[in-house]
Amino acid sequence: MKELEYNTDDSIAALATGWEESALAVIRTSGTDSIERAAAIFSNSAGMLAAEGGRIIYGFVIDPETGEKVDEVLAAVFRAPKSYTGENSVEFFCHGGLPAVATMLSALKKGGFRDAGPGEFTMRAFINGKLDLTRAEAVHEIVTAKTPRAHSLALNRLSGALEERIDGLKKRIVDMLSKVELLLDYPEDELDGQASGYPLDETELSRLCEDIECLAESFRAGRVFREGVPVALAGRTNAGKSSLFNLLLKEDRAIVSEFHGTTRDYIESWINVNGIPLRLFDTAGLRASENSVEAEGIKRSGEVIADAGIVLYLVDSAEGLNSEDETFLEDFEDKSRLIPVWSKIDRGGNSVPEGFIPVSAMTAEGLPRLEQALSDSALGKKGLDDEVIIDSIRQRDLLSRAAEAVRTVQAATAQQAPLDAVAMELKDAVDALGEITGEVSSADILNNIFLKFCVGK
Amino acid sequence: MNNADYDAIVIGGGHAGIEASLALARLGYETMLITQSLDAIGRLSCNPSIGGLSKGNIVREIDALGGEMGKLIDKSMIQFRILNQRRGPAVQAPRAQADKFLYTRLAKETVENQSRLHPFQDTVVDFILDSSETKIQGVITERGRRFTAGTVVMTTGTFMEGNIFIGDWVTSSGRLGEPAAVGLGTSLRRMGFSLGRLKTGTPARVASSSIDYSKMEIQPGDDKIVPFSFAADTIVRPAVPCYITYTNERTHKIIRDNMDKSPLYGGKIVGTGPRYCPSIEDKVVRFPDRDRHQIFVEPEGLDSEEMYLNGISSSLPETVQEAFLRTIPGLEDVRVMRPGYAVEYDYLDPLQLSPSLMTKKIAGLFSAGQTNGTSGYEEAGCQGLLAGINAAMYMQGKPPLVLSRSEAYAGVLIDDLVTLGTKEPYRMFTSRAEYRLCLRQDTADIRLTQKSFDAGLQSAEAVERLNLKIEGIEEIKELLRGRRVNGKDVEEAGLRVTGLKERLGDTFEKLMKVPDFTTEDLLVIEPSLSETHRQWLDQAAIDIKYEGYIDRQQKQINRFKRMENLKIPAAFNYEGVNGISSESMEKLKEIRPLSVGQASRISGVRSSDIAVLLVLLGRGDDNA
Ligand SMILES: Cc1cc2nc3c(=O)[nH]c(=O)nc-3n(C[C@H](O)[C@H](O)[C@H](O)COP(=O)(O)OP(=O)(O)OC[C@H]3O[C@@H](n4cnc5c(N)ncnc54)[C@H](O)[C@@H]3O)c2cc1C
Ligand SMILES: Nc1nc2c(ncn2[C@@H]2O[C@H](COP(=O)(O)OP(=O)(O)O)[C@@H](O)[C@H]2O)c(=O)[nH]1
Ligand SMILES: [Mg+2]
């Protein structure tokens, strides 16, 4: 596994600025072929390929699968050895919204970049002699956290159950691998019936693969838990969403205005409600718009609402419910995720309909009840705290790699492929899981063989 | 050292010693081979066979590097098999039953006929060092002779302070009937080396005429023999069968009832035995659920009455051995000729060796074979060969020949020994080699012959032969890439090669990638290919079939090599390096890895330590 940590023959990408809401985000890439790869998903491909080191080019990043524009960016091209890492590199300056960053990263990934592991840019930098000793200490820290032991210590703090689960999966693969290796280490006639037929079973492999994939998918849930439950503010324009957002935030961040449709995209912020981390999203009003930029914002609002864990739906008490509100409320499928809010109650409008929480953003009346409803809804989300979840992109990627390898083995098993080739794939799966909870060496495999089988003349 | 008696002295004429001494003499050095008995040169102490999974690959590597083992077994084999035919080409390997007596005779003759090689019968008991006690200058023998030389290769096998056990009978011996080499272990300890005890065992040899073979399964060899040596295309050798029989509950009961008489379980033997080669006592204790264990009955030689009972090594008292053997089908009236026994001996902790197999403590002193904690003829042979070559490199002031894990099983073996050490007799296994798809037995010459030629050992003919082979294989691949299945092919061969019709228009290369499509099928369609070398054809076929896997492995290798190529200077000072844990520091100072890659394989050295090393090694390099 150590060998993988220092793998420097591919191109990597990662967000260089903080993983938080900001006006501008910088995504850094590095690798011998990073400029070619970046150019392949860039509108001004030729310009980028021709660019000298240190040049900045304007253009769009294009999703290589859909062909759609992902974001309007400035791209800085660096040529080896004059870059942070000493390798070829392209840095993208893009819009800072987190979803925007996420789509950028996903486009880069489709374009052949791998998510950089923690400290990997720094690692490449000093492998290429770009870092001096004064920074060694810092690098040391980062890399230390990558060692299996330190890593599993961190894991233990987070979730001992997760390690147990991964170890369980790993053990299942190691057992399969041992059966294969047994046949490669000892000739048929010496096994005396201890292993007959093809050593792998398709259904067992398929079950294993599902279990690994299932854990990989828990990343979504894990993110919710770790990154907070996303809470979307929805409602017609001027319902008072931005004002409520500010109240919950206790600071003026969203732009409050009397003109319809000011919040064009959406704004995100962390809030802490009764100790529970929530990510609050203020969205544009849900209103058909002629203005294309605003229409885009409305479309994104819809996505945010769909992805949110909890939706606060605001209805202006002075205006009362209209058909648009009723449609939204009725169509909303998972009612446990929905909190209807009766806003601006300081104005003394219509009486509170059944199920609505009356709130005034102006006077903060009703705020405690709203906060209670929010935390109840967040905690009420089943399974979040007892289910095993994974907690990083790296782990998810490693699990996906393992699952993919197991799938390949499954396909090979269907064809009864030669075992020497199959063993290579299985080892890959073991190595991937080993990177999460500790390496499995060939000596471990041999131990397993000697423990389980009576072999040797 | 001028005026020395010899350029080099090799201690011990076992499988390691033969290769070491032949290599040194062939590289031009006056070499003395001191061994306890000239009649025992190249003796096969245990099983009468050479090769097997991964071990067969090693024999071919020895041959590719200009060693002798492949040639010796080619001339003395009495049965040949390719193992694991159905489990993928990367892990197939040749094994041969040897006529032990013929093998030993041929080994002795080869040594005797080698110019500059001087065999001498005596036992080495001590070393001569220079005044600073850091350099070897020669050896002292049991009979008090002093021989001087600037390099010494130690290959003492199971003989150093060896003890043999049969029940409660113990004697100082390295092999039944041969005295131990006493004294050397003490000298080495005095010189500050750390030695350990290991144990191994061997089964009884019984009289063929007392066996009822009709009660056993017969196990014939293959019809086709592929020589171990790349120098030969074909060989003709006799093929005698082996037999298989089984123990049963009665056998196990006798063993269990007498366990208290076992030196192993009675606590007399302290050395660690190999788990992969357990005695029958071990098998019965560790796997109580198994109601039988397999025994292979193998001839020790064409003209010998002795039969070797593979799978049932034991150190129980002779009468107990006899009793349990007689419960086994076919062995009811068996006559034991030599009893099974266990041997315990001193070995040198191989962490004290550098990858050239020279000891780090004493310049010019090399060590190879079972002495380094391994077990097996092939394991001993490849170490002996490399120790011999590197003793020569040392004398020439040239860098040693160190094979990488990605280019030879021999490389894996030595790297494991000097990086991880060993606590039990180390045997090679296919699973120890992470890049085994690229370590096929049929490619040993492509991987290694040129290296040995560059070192001055391998002959020009061998390189010429290799180039011919490489070109030949390329030509075959060229043909397969260009030639397409046509109507005539389908007409002529369509009946004999299933599915050929559907492949009309495909290149032969594509055809070859179909899993079930064999070289035989290819020959049916394109009979002209039968004129080319069959082994080349097979090799081209495997290369094509495995292209995807081999490419992937090659990528892994490239990645691996990057860290191997980051060399750590010999004089690197770990003292006072900030940020390396003290545990790792001790290990790094002890093992002194040659590269960052090797350092990263040391157990207990963490990624963070490696990172610090990288930073330090990068200092002063201004490629920015
Ligand atoms: C009882 C027994 C059981 C074994 N079981 C197995 C097994 O199960 N599996 C397996 O793979 N291998 C087994 N072997 C091991 C196999 O025989 C060895 O691995 C192989 O022979 C090692 O080769 P070598 O050259 O290192 O040493 P050896 O073949 O032991 O040769 C050493 C030679 O050096 C000579 N010598 C030693 N010390 C001195 C000295 N001081 N001065 C002069 N000459 C000296 C000895 O007389 C001997 O000729 C067994 C060996 C024995 C004896
Ligand atoms: N009196 C009163 N006015 C409010 C309240 N909440 C919002 N408003 C006003 O309603 C208008 C629209 O509010 P805004 O938060 O921008 O609505 P949004 O379009 O849903 O984000 C602004 O003029 C606010 O000042 C409230 O609780 N009380
Ligand atoms: Mg707003």
Domain of residue A168, CATH code: 1.20.120.430
Ligand 3 center from residue A107 Cα (angstroms) = 30
Ligand 3 center from residue A72 Cα (angstroms) = 24
In this structure, are residues B74 and B231 in contact, taking their beta carbons and an 8 Å threshold? no
| pLDDT tens-digit map of B120-153 | 999 999 999 999 999 999 999 999 999 999 999 9
Is the pLDDT assigned to residue A195 strictly greater than 60?
A: yes
- Calculate the average pLDDT of chain A: 77
B205-342 placed in CATH 3.40.50.2000: no
Q: What is the pLDDT of residue B57?
A: 97
Tokens 């070897």 map to which residue? B136
| pLDDT tens-digit map of A40-73 | 999 999 999 999 988 888 999 999 988 888 888 8
| pLDDT tens-digit map of B403-443 | 999 999 999 999 999 999 999 999 999 999 999 999 999 99
Q: How many CA atoms lie within 13 A of B151 on its CB side?
A: 27
Q: B624 to chain A: nearest residue by CA?
A: A81
CA distance A180 to A191: 13
| pLDDT tens-digit map of B546-572 | 898 899 889 889 878 888 888 898 888
Does residue A190 lie in a domain region? yes
Does residue A248 lie in a domain region? yes
Sign of CA dihedral B181, B184, B185, B186: positive
One of 1.10.150.570, 3.30.930.10, 3.40.50.10470, 3.40.50.2300 is the CATH number of B565-622, namely 1.10.150.570
B16 lines ligand 1 (CB under 6 A): yes
Ordered by start, the domain boundaries in chain B are 6-199+345-455, 205-342, 460-551, 565-622
Closest residue to atom 22 of ligand 2, CA basis = A258
CA distance B339 to B331: 14
Helix axis angle for A202-227 and A393-414, nearest 10°, is 170
- Calculate the average pLDDT of chain B: 93
Does residue A87 lie in a domain region? yes
Backbone phi, then psi, for A220, in 5-degree steps? -55, -50
Residue type, B367: S
Is the pLDDT assigned to residue B607 strictly greater than 70?
A: no
CA distance B229 to A264: 78
Higher-confidence residue of B524 and B15: namely B15
On whether both A366 and A399 belong to a single domain, the answer is: no
Ligand 3 center from residue A226 Cα (angstroms) = 27
Q: What is the pLDDT of residue A223?
A: 53
Q: How many CB pairs under 8 A join A and B?
A: 156
- ipTM field: 0.84
- Candidates B222, B614, B616: best to mutate against A (most CBs of A within 10 A) is B614
CA distance A45 to B590: 54
Is the pLDDT assigned to residue B28 strictly greater than 50?
A: yes
pLDDT, mean of residues B328-354: 97
Instruction: Give me the residue from A130, A137, A420 closest to B436, CB to CB.
Output: A420
User: Do B460-551 and B565-622 show the same overall fold?
Assistant: no
DSSP H helical segments within A111-228, as ranges?
120-127, 136-146, 148-158, 160-185, 202-227
In this structure, are residues B512 and B541 in contact, taking their beta carbons and an 8 Å threshold? yes
On whether both A251 and A329 belong to a single domain, the answer is: yes
Does residue A136 lie in a domain region? no
In this structure, are residues A110 and A65 in contact, taking their beta carbons and an 8 Å threshold? yes
Chain A residue numbers with beta carbons less than 8 Å from the beta carbon of B219 are: 189
> Which DSSP letter does residue B273 get?
P
On whether both A419 and A353 belong to a single domain, the answer is: no
Q: How many CB atoms lie within 10 A of CB A372?
A: 13
Q: Residues, chain A, total?
A: 457
B238: CB partners within 8 A, 6+ apart: B78, B302
> Which DSSP letter does residue A116 get?
P
Q: What is the pLDDT of residue A389?
A: 60
List A residues 183-212 in contact with B (Cβ-Cβ < 8 A): 183-190, 192
| pLDDT tens-digit map of B478-488 | 999 999 999 88
Contact criterion met (CB < 8 Å) for B611 and A192: no
Ligand 3 center from residue A352 Cα (angstroms) = 22
Per the omega criterion (within 30 degrees of 0), is the bond before A81 cis? yes
Q: What is the pLDDT of residue A88?
A: 94
DSSP H helical segments within B358-459, as ranges?
377-396, 409-420, 444-455
Is the pLDDT assigned to residue B617 strictly greater than 80?
A: no
Does residue A448 lie in a domain region? no
Tokens 């990989």 map to which residue? A216
Closest residue to atom 13 of ligand 2, CA basis = A240
Q: How many CB atoms lie within 10 A of CB A52?
A: 8
Q: B420 to chain A: nearest residue by CA?
A: A443
CA distance A18 to A27: 10
Is the pLDDT assigned to residue A138 strictly greater than 80?
A: no
Residue B11, strand partner residues: B34, B154
Is the pLDDT assigned to residue A165 strictly greater than 90?
A: no
pTM, two decimals, is 0.76
| pLDDT tens-digit map of B460-481 | 999 999 999 999 999 999 999 9
Q: How many CA atoms lie within 13 A of B401 on its CB side?
A: 28
pLDDT, mean of residues B594-616: 80
pLDDT, mean of residues A278-307: 67
The pLDDT-based confidence of A277 (bands split at 50, 70, 90) is: low
Q: Per the structure, how many domains does chain A have?
A: 3
CATH number of B460-551: 1.10.10.1800
| pLDDT tens-digit map of B220-273 | 999 999 999 999 989 999 999 999 999 999 999 999 999 999 988 777 788 778
In this structure, are residues B243 and B219 in contact, taking their beta carbons and an 8 Å threshold? yes
CA distance B501 to B487: 8
Chain B residue numbers with beta carbons less than 8 Å from the beta carbon of A427 are: 434
Integer Rg of chain A from CA:
27
Higher-confidence residue of A394 and A152: namely A394
Does residue A137 lie in a domain region? no
On whether both A346 and A421 belong to a single domain, the answer is: no
The pLDDT-based confidence of B274 (bands split at 50, 70, 90) is: confident
For A233-272, give one letter per residue: b (16+ CB within 10 A) or e.
bbbbbbbbbbbbbbbbbeeebbebeeeebbbbbbbbbebe
On whether both A16 and A114 belong to a single domain, the answer is: yes
Is the pLDDT assigned to residue A4 strictly greater than 70?
A: no
| pLDDT tens-digit map of B570-580 | 888 888 776 67
CA distance A38 to A34: 6
Domain that includes residue A260, residue range: 225-379
Torsion angle of C-alpha atoms A221, A226, A230, A231, degrees rounded to 10: 120
Q: How many CB atoms lie within 10 A of CB B84?
A: 25
Backbone phi, then psi, for B359, in 5-degree steps? -70, 145
Q: What is the pLDDT of residue B472?
A: 95
Chain A residue numbers with beta carbons less than 8 Å from the beta carbon of B515 are: 415, 417
Ligand 3 center from residue A262 Cα (angstroms) = 6
Separation of first and last alpha carbons in chain B:
47
B181 lines ligand 1 (CB under 6 A): yes
The pLDDT-based confidence of B517 (bands split at 50, 70, 90) is: confident
List A residues 105-134 in contact with B (Cβ-Cβ < 8 A): 123, 126-131, 133
**Which of these ranges, A165-169, A351-355, A356-360, A365-369, has the smallest mean pLDDT?**
A165-169
Does residue A450 lie in a domain region? no
Q: What is the pLDDT of residue A390?
A: 62
- Closest CA relative to residue B12, chosen from B135, B107, B128: B107
Q: What is the pLDDT of residue A257?
A: 45
Residue A58, strand partner residues: A74
Sign of CA dihedral A319, A322, A328, A333: positive
B546: CB partners within 8 A, 6+ apart: A421, B89, B90, B437
In this structure, are residues A374 and A341 in contact, taking their beta carbons and an 8 Å threshold? no
On whether both A187 and A282 belong to a single domain, the answer is: no
The CATH code of the domain that includes A65 is: 3.30.1360.120
Chain B residue numbers with beta carbons less than 8 Å from the beta carbon of A189 are: 219, 244
Superfamily of domain B6-199+345-455: FAD/NAD(P)-binding domain (3.50.50.60)
The CATH code of the domain that includes A340 is: 3.40.50.300
pLDDT, mean of residues B376-399: 98
Q: B436 to chain A: nearest residue by CA?
A: A420
The pLDDT-based confidence of A291 (bands split at 50, 70, 90) is: low
**Which of these ranges, A143-152, A177-186, B230-239, B341-350, has the smallest mean pLDDT?**
A143-152
Angle, alpha carbons A418-A419-A423 (nearest 5°): 135
Does residue A445 lie in a domain region? no
On whether both A248 and A354 belong to a single domain, the answer is: yes
Protein residues whose CB sits closer than 6 Å to any atom of ligand 2:
A 235, 237-243, 256-258, 263, 285, 343-344, 346-347, 360-362
Higher-confidence residue of A20 and A418: namely A418
Q: Give the SS3 label for residue B183.
A: coil
Cα A264–chain centre separation: 25
pLDDT, mean of residues B105-118: 98
**Which of these ranges, A149-153, A184-188, B282-286, has the smallest mean pLDDT?**
A149-153
Q: What percent of chain B has pLDDT over 70?
A: 97
Closest residue to atom 27 of ligand 1, CA basis = B157
On whether both A16 and A104 belong to a single domain, the answer is: yes
